[in-house]
Amino acid sequence: MKIALFQTDIVYEAPIWNLDKVSRWVEGLKADTDLAILPEFFDTGSLKTEYKETIRIMTELAIENNIAICFSTLHERHNRFCFIHPDGRLDYYDKRHSYPLSGEGKYIETGCFKKIILYKGFRILPQICYDLRFPVWSYNCEESRYDIAIYLASWPEERICFWDKLLEARAIENICYVIGVNRIGDDRRFHYPGHSKVIDFKGQVIKDTDSDLECCVTTDIDMESLKDFRSNFCTFEDSEKFRINS
Point out the residues that are catalytic. Answer: 40, 95, 129
Helix count and strand count (H, E) for the chain:
5, 14
Rounded CA-CA distance 155/42 in Å is 13
The CB density around residue 48, as the number of other CB atoms within 10 Å, is 12
Helices marked H in 66-124: 104-107
Rounded CA-CA distance 166/99 in Å is 16
Q: By the 8 A CB rule, do 199 and 171 touch? A: yes
